[in-house]
Amino acid sequence: MRMKSLAVLTATVMLGAALGWAAAAASYQKTGTVKEVGPDSFTLDLGKEAWRFYTDSGTGGKEALKVGDKVTVTYKQVATKIEAKAAAKAPAKKK
């Protein structure tokens, strides 16, 4: 009986961990040259385009950023707020 309970508990924990991992936001990377550094953001020159990244107190490595450095940025795309608006009604067709 104890082995069966232990097996069920282990399976439950592993399933919970797998679901938690799958629900986490995917992360992406960009590598380029630092073009501009501000107090809460920096611009990365990627060659054909430039991307602005915003930082907060939890962003690691931002203290070492210097213009001209080549860096790799790991980031996540996460929505912070969504506002829904009703779709505009199409005008009635004339007969």
Q: What percent of the chain has pLDDT over 70?
A: 73
pLDDT at residue 9 is higher than 80: no
**Domain residue limits, the chain:** 2-76
The answer, yes or no, to whether residue 22 has pLDDT greater than 90, is: no
Q: Is the pLDDT of residue 49 over 70?
A: yes
- Is residue 30 within 8 Å of 44, Cβ to Cβ? yes
Top-tier CATH class for 2-76: mainly beta
Task: Give CA–CA dist 31/82, Å, rounded.
Answer: 29
3-state secondary structure (DSSP) of residue 64: helix
Closest CA relative to residue 38, chosen from 61, 65, 18: 65
Q: Which of 12-21, 40-49, 50-59, 63-72 has the lowest mean pLDDT?
A: 12-21
